[in-house]
């Protein structure tokens, strides 16, 4: 069966010292707790090794926010999937809308990144979602389907089964404007049907699909109560231990 998951995406926030302190705080909050979901934090590359040394990954998973689309070599400033794995991290966010929007990531580069993530035993948290204009002109289903088909449908069923999906409507990210729980459910059910068409119902039913975009303690319970919403990918609210734990405890 699919897992419930709450994952933090810290984005470009916190110094190393602040990040280690936050990770320790979350790790401490999870000690002795039995949340009804897996809990993961995805943090800046610079923080990974230090945070890995401080947390219990049986309780708190650790991931990067991106990785390079090349294995190694003359790509100044890039961080490879094998470098990420060598820090002890086991997850990687791929295809976040901020990467697509500001760094020109395409389905083609994302296919390379996915292959390298698998090669290095990193579990991809793969992001999809439409921009406001696409929602308004009602092409959002088409857009999301295309993102999935182009980047993921070359994967074997076994590989696809390892992917965590995150539906993040771009108009809801960092705007305070959350998709309603009905809007999230409608899209998540659609995504599951797209997966079922390609890989069959069993794979679709076993895929965790997270919602992301202004998710906070006050709206998480209603979102997570929807049958096809299996958790959240949390930006802003993951930078504060109490609000992140508030979302974790919404399950």
Residues making contact with ligand 13P (CB under 6 A): 9, 96, 168, 173-174, 212-215, 233-237
User: Which H or E element spans position 125?
Assistant: strand 123-128
Smaller CB distance to ligand 13P: residue 9 or 185? 9
Least spacing, CB of residue 149 vs ligand 13P, in Å:
22
Q: Which among 47, 96, 140, 188 is annotated as catalytic?
A: 96
Least spacing, CB of residue 247 vs ligand 13P, in Å:
10
Residue of minimal CB distance from ligand 13P? 235
Burial class, 19, CB count within 10 angstroms (exposed 0-12 / middle 13-18 / buried 19+): buried
Least spacing, CB of residue 96 vs ligand 13P, in Å:
6
Smaller CB distance to ligand 13P: residue 114 or 128? 128
Q: Is 168 a catalytic residue?
A: yes
Least spacing, CB of residue 205 vs ligand 13P, in Å:
24
- Rounded to whole angstroms, the Cα distance separating 22 from 16 reads 10
- Rounded to whole angstroms, the Cα distance separating 189 from 187 reads 5
For 107-138, give one letter per residue: b (16+ CB within 10 A) or e: bebbbebbbbbbebebbbbbbbbbbeebbeee
Least spacing, CB of residue 5 vs ligand 13P, in Å:
13
Smaller CB distance to ligand 13P: residue 68 or 213? 213
- Rounded to whole angstroms, the Cα distance separating 7 from 2 reads 15
Smaller CB distance to ligand 13P: residue 196 or 240? 240
Q: Which among 65, 98, 168, 188 is annotated as catalytic?
A: 168
- Which residues make Cβ contacts (< 8 Å) with residue 216, sequence separation at least 6? 178, 236, 237, 243, 246, 247
Smaller CB distance to ligand 13P: residue 168 or 181? 168
Among 141, 137, 112, which Cα is nearest to 129's? 141
- Residues annotated as catalytic are 96, 168
């Amino acid at each position: 069966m699919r897992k419930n998951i709450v994952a933090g995406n810290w984005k470009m926030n916190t110094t190393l010292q602040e990040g280690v302190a936050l990770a320790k705080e979350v790790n401490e909050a999870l000690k002795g707790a039995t949340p009804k979901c897996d809990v993961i934090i995805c943090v800046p590359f610079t923080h990974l090794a230090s945070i890995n040394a401080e947390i219990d990954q049986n309780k708190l998973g650790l991931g990067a926010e991106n990785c390079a689309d090349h294995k190694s070599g003359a790509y100044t400033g890039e961080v490879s999937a094998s470098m990420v794995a060598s820090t002890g991290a086991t997850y990687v966010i791929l295809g976040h809308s901020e990467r697509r929007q500001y760094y020109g990531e395409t389905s083609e580069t994302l296919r390379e990144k996915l292959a390298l993530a698998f090669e290095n035993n990193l579990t991809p948290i793969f992001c999809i979602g439409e921009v406001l204009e696409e929602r308004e002109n009602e092409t959002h289903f088409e857009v999301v389907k295309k993102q999935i088909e182009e980047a993921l449908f070359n994967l074997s069923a076994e590989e696809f089964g390892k992917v965590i999906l995150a539906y993040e409507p771009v108009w809801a990210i960092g705007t305070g404007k959350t998709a309603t729980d009905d809007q999230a459910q409608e899209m998540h059910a659609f995504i599951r049907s797209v997966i079922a068409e390609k890989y069959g119902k069993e794979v679709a039913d076993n895929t965790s699909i997270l919602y992301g975009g202004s998710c906070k303690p006050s709206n998480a319970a209603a979102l997570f109560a929807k049958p096809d919403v299996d958790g959240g990918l949390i930006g802003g609210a993951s930078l504060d231990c109490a609000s992140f734990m508030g979302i974790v405890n919404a399950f």
